[in-house]
Amino acid sequence: MPHPIELRAQALQCLLEPDPHAKTAGVAALAQAHAEGSAVLDTEAAMETSGTIPGRPARPELVHPRLVGRRSMATIEGRAMLVHALAHIEFNAVNLALDALWRFPGMPDAYYLDWLQVAKEEAYHFSMLAGHLGVLGYAYGDFTGHDSLWEMVEKTREDIVARMALVPRTLEARGLDAIPPLRAKIAQAGDLAAAAILDIILRDEVGHVEIGNRWYQYLCQLQDLEPRATYDELVVRYRAPVLKGPFNLEARRRAGFSEAELARLAQ
């Protein structure tokens, strides 16, 4: 009998993989192995790595967010820049899901399977966007990108409560607000294929943020922490960005934010 795949260890190997297409293929293979029952889940093992996290290609060049460039929808290049920026976000989202999966031992099985599902869907999003870049005559890496999302992953590498609070339910939740106006802009420019991809991403991202919300609430209950006060303290401690509207309150509601949290945003 072949040796079973250890799910968390293989997630770490996918995280270390620098080639985007090999990474996304590896994530799909890992999800398939789990679905077929050929992957085992060791939730207790604390793993170490000597590799560079995350693995990523030499391009795109990473710059300050203000230097990424303007994206006019009037030209193919401008639309490609927007699609590239979205692809870069999804590539980083694959990495953050894999990091959440392998890094933190001792969580319930459902936690790891949730993040495997997130990694699978983020890899699918990246593949769709990279494919559409090819249709537009470009490839991932042809434009610059920034590293803001991964910087918070790195800051919270020792604190799973902060990770759940500040990555899925803060930074990723901003996507719930940003996608609808981006979708309208690119559809108005005539790129209905890109608009359809954004519809899929928004649908799935609601679920991803809900996963972060659910595990944040679980951890707060487990550690006897008051969720709202703890969140406010973590925002200050880790210098999380200040959220600015307009907010997609309906999507946030479906993603598990409480009415009290939504009321605070509305104020």
The stretch 86-96 carries a mean pLDDT of 96
Task: For residues 149-160, give the mean pLDDT.
Answer: 94
Question: CB-based contacts of 75: which residues, under 8 Å, 6+ apart?
Answer: none
User: What confidence score (pLDDT) does residue 52 get?
Assistant: 79
Burial per residue of 87-104, b for 16 or more beta-carbon CB atoms within 10 angstroms, e otherwise: bbbbbbbbbbbbbbbbbb
Q: What is the pLDDT of residue 5?
A: 86
Into which CATH architecture does domain 75-266 fall?
A: Up-down Bundle (1.20)
Residues 36, 40, 43: CA angle, nearest 5 degrees: 140
- Is residue 224's pLDDT more than 50? yes
Question: For 111-126, what is the mean pLDDT?
Answer: 98
Average the pLDDT over 53-72 and give the result: 85
Is the pLDDT confidence value at 208 over 60?
Answer: yes
> What's the confidence (pLDDT) of residue 42?
85
User: Does the structure show a pLDDT above 50 at 160?
Assistant: yes
The predicted model scores a pTM of 0.95
3-state class (DSSP) for residue 142? coil
State yes or no: pLDDT of 53 exceeds 70.
yes
Res 148 pLDDT > 50:
yes
What the block records as the tokens of 194 is: 């890109």
Continuous segment of H or E residues that includes residue 39: strand 39-40
Domain range list for the chain: 75-266
> pLDDT value at position 2?
59
Residue among 5, 104, 91 at smallest CA distance from 54? 91
Cβ neighbours for 227, distance < 8 A, ≥ 6 positions apart? 216, 217, 220
- pLDDT at residue 1, rounded to an integer: 45
CA 179 to CA 156: how far, in whole Å? 25
What span, in angstroms and rounded, lies between the C-alpha atoms of 88 and 134?
14
Q: Is 23 left (phi over 0), alpha (psi -120 to 50) or beta?
A: alpha
Q: Is the model more confident about 266 or about 211? A: 211
